[in-house]
Structure 1
Amino acid sequence: MAKSGDQHQQYSSMEVEGESSGTRDAKGKTPIMEAPLIGKSGTHLGNGDGGAGVKRGVGIIDFVVRLLALAAALAATIAMGTTDQTLPFFTQFFQFRARYYDLPSFTYFVIANAIIAAYLVLSMPFSIVTIVRPLAKAPRLILIIFDTIALTLTVSAAGAAAAIVYLAHKGNTNTNWIAICQQFDNFCQRSSGSVVASFIAAVLFILLVILSTVALKSH
């Protein structure tokens, strides 16, 4: 009987130890249950960092496209602003000469593209800010507003100049406008090239507006 009592005590002590160890195991499992929560928050932070990285990439693309648009606007301004051709057959009192400022549309074209080029230079710091601080909304909002205005100015200037270039190449028999590009070939080539460059700048401005819109929408 004494032995059975001792065995009963041993069994009881083993059960108590089992319960206490089970309790410790249950307590030990508590951090394991919290681990997915920590993992979720870590994943959330990772997504935020990834979003900032994507916006920084958009800012870099914006800066590169802005440089290309600046090159196109400068090329259009210089090409049209230096367009001047005089035909070889002339006398002291009579000569044939074509200059950009003889046509108001071409004058407007040169002024508009010069303004656009100056704006692109001034917009570079804001584009750099979008790279350094990709989550900032204000610089992107400023850029999208002024890029839209610059796009409108570019399209209007290029369209006005394109109409004159078309008349120079094709003429208009109904209004007795004769085609002059057979005589003023250099004048027509330079003016046509400048109009093409201006339209390229307009396409790049459309891309800039899209990039800024996507970056703002993803906030």
Structure 2
Amino acid sequence: MANESTTIEIGESSTMTKRTSHVVVDEKKKGFVAATAGGGYKRGLAIFDFLLRLAAIVTTITASSVMYTAEETLPFFTQFLQFQAGYDDFATFQFFVISIAMVASYLVLSLPFSIVSIIRPLAAAPRLILLISDTVVVTLTTAAAAAAAAIVYLAHNGNPNTNWLPICQQFGDFCQAVSSAVVAASIAVVFFIILIVISAISLKALILYFSSG
């Protein structure tokens, strides 16, 4: 009886060990599958983030360069006066050129962080850095675009209350150039808003993933 009891106990221990090993393996498989699925989802967001940054770089460089080269000289002039309009005649447009150029430079510098997010989709630090930086830069972009838009509006419509006459009837090409630059900067603002939303979604998904794991 003692031998039979011993044999039964060994059998139960072996069975429990096998069950435990199966449970551990199953948990590892589930964890691997969850990490792979979550990583693929976040990697897709990171790729979209990278492509959107490339588009924003093109947009901001275009906006800054178009505003910088905006200049028009009227075909008639007097002996002492020449009628000319350029971006450097307006302090707001100078602020626009400098600010949007800084934004374009930031976007180029942010590309490595976006690439890291693609390679390591479960890394939270690069995404957090991008979220904070994008939030700061979108404020600068919005300020530059809004200030320039106000001057463009005055150039097109003037202000009868202050006797500011519209100049776009005479400087049509100049006004078209600065208007295009403002539109491009506004598109860049939309890109930044989407980038911020992507970073927020990615961080939320990472928090939920690590808290559940």
Q: TM-score, normalised by structure 2?
A: 0.85
Correspondences of 1:69-218 after superposition (within 5 Å): 69-218=56-205
Question: Which structure has the larger Rg?
Answer: 1
CA distance in 1, matches of 2:80, 2:190: 45
Q: Amino acid of the residue matched to residue 120 of structure 1?
A: L
1:89 aligned counterpart, secondary structure: strand
Are residue 48 (structure 1) and residue 32 (structure 2) matched? no
Change (3 A) 1:145 1:28: closer
Q: Any unmatched runs of 5+ in structure 2?
A: 1-6, 207-213
Deviation at 1:57, TM superposition (A): 1.2
CA distance in 1, matches of 2:195, 2:164: 39
Q: Amino acid of the residue matched to residue 32 of structure 2?
A: L
Q: CA RMSD in A?
A: 2.4
CA distance in 1, matches of 2:15, 2:40: 38
CA distance in 2, matches of 1:190, 1:92: 28
Q: TM-score, normalised by structure 1?
A: 0.83
CA distance in 1, matches of 2:17, 2:81: 100
Aligned length: 200
Q: Any unmatched runs of 5+ in structure 1?
A: 1-19
Q: Amino acid of the residue matched to residue 63 of structure 1?
A: F
Q: Amino acid of the residue matched to residue 113 of structure 1?
A: I
Deviation at 1:33, TM superposition (A): 9.3
Change (3 A) 1:98 1:210: same
CA distance in 2, matches of 1:39, 1:193: 59
Equivalent residue for 2:47, pick from 52, 60, 65: 60
Moved over 3 A (4+): 27-41
CA distance in 2, matches of 1:184, 1:134: 51
CA distance in 1, matches of 2:110, 2:29: 36
Deviation at 1:28, TM superposition (A): 7.6
2:85 aligned counterpart, secondary structure: strand
1:85 aligned counterpart, secondary structure: strand
Deviation at 1:91, TM superposition (A): 2.8
Deviation at 1:145, TM superposition (A): 1.0
Q: Amino acid of the residue matched to residue 114 of structure 2?
A: S
Deviation at 1:70, TM superposition (A): 0.6
